[in-house]
Chain A
Amino acid sequence: MHARFANAPSSHKHKNLRFVDSLKQQAQDYALGTLPKEDAILFEALLEKDEDARNYLIEAQEDCANLSMTVPSSDAGDDLRSRVMESCRPKKDFNPFLDTAEINRLQENYLTPDQRYLGGGASVDMGDVGEQKIQDDLFQVYESLIELFPLVSGDSTAASGDFGSLGNWIGNGVGNGSLLSSHMKEALSHSLSNDEKDPGSRSTQRSLLAALPSLTFFINRVRENSATLADIRRIFYLCRDQLKIMRASFGDLDPSRLADDEKLRLHGAGLLRTKWWGAEHSYFSGNGNVRCGHFFDGPVTERCVEFAEYDSNLYCLANLLSSRTGNGEFHIELLKDAIPGGVLAVAMAETPLESHDEINSIVEGSQANGKIPLRDFALWKLIEDSMLRGHQDTGTDSMRDNPLHGCQRFENGTYLWFAWPNVPNAQDGAEAETGKPLQ
Chain B
Amino acid sequence: MPRIENEIWSRIKEGDSAAFGELYDGFASAMFSLSLQILNDRWEAEEVIQDVFAYLWRKPDAFSPEKGKFSSWLLVLTRNRSIDRYRSRKRRTDKAENDEILGSRSDPSQKDASAEATASDERAHLCEAFSELPEEQRRVLELSYFKGMNHMEIAELLDLSLGTVKSRIRLGVEKLRYALSSLRI
Interface on A for B, CB 8 Å cutoff?
Answer: 1, 3-4, 7, 24-25, 28-29, 31-34, 54, 57-58, 61-76, 80-81, 83-85, 87-88, 153-155, 159-160, 233, 236-237, 265, 270, 274, 277, 294, 431-439
Contact = CB atoms under 8 A, between A and B. Distances in A.
13 contacts: A3-B181, A65-B69, A69-B75, A70-B108, A70-B130, A74-B32, A84-B24, A154-B40, A159-B41, A270-B51, A432-B87, A435-B80, A436-B80
B66 A88 contact: no
A359 B32 CA distance: 42
Nearest to B34: A68
A434 B73 CA distance: 15
Nearest to B47: A274
Contact of A88 (B20, B73, B75, B108): B20
Contact of B126 (A57, A66, A75, A76): A66
A88 B50 contact: no
Contact of B33 (A65, A74, A88, A236): A74
A223 to B, nearest CB: 21
Given A67-B141, A68-B75, A87-B54, A155 B42 contact: yes
Given A66-B176, A70-B126, A80 B67 contact: no
A265 B106 CA distance: 33
A63 B176 CA distance: 8
A294 B54 contact: yes
* Interface bracket on B: 35 or more
Contact of B117 (A34, A64, A66, A73): A73
Nearest to B138: A70
A72 B106 contact: yes
A72 B37 CA distance: 8
Contacts of A159: 41-43
Contact of A65 (B75, B148, B166): B75
B43 A87 contact: no
A439 B77 contact: yes
A398 B176 CA distance: 68
Contacts of B71: 65
B76 A65 contact: yes
Contacts of B108: 70
Contacts of B182: 3
B174 interface: yes
Contacts of A237: 43
A324 B87 CA distance: 42
Given A4-B174, A233-B43, 11 more contacts: A57-B68, A61-B73, A64-B79, A67-B176, A68-B79, A71-B33, A72-B110, A76-B49, A80-B50, A85-B24, A154-B43
Nearest to B40: A155
Q: Which of B39, B43, B119, B173 has the most CB of A within 10 A?
A: B43
Contact of A28 (B46, B85, B173): B173
B37 A66 contact: no
B155 interface: no
Interface in B34-85: 34, 36-37, 39-47, 49-51, 53-54, 57-58, 62-63, 66-69, 71-73, 75-81, 83-85
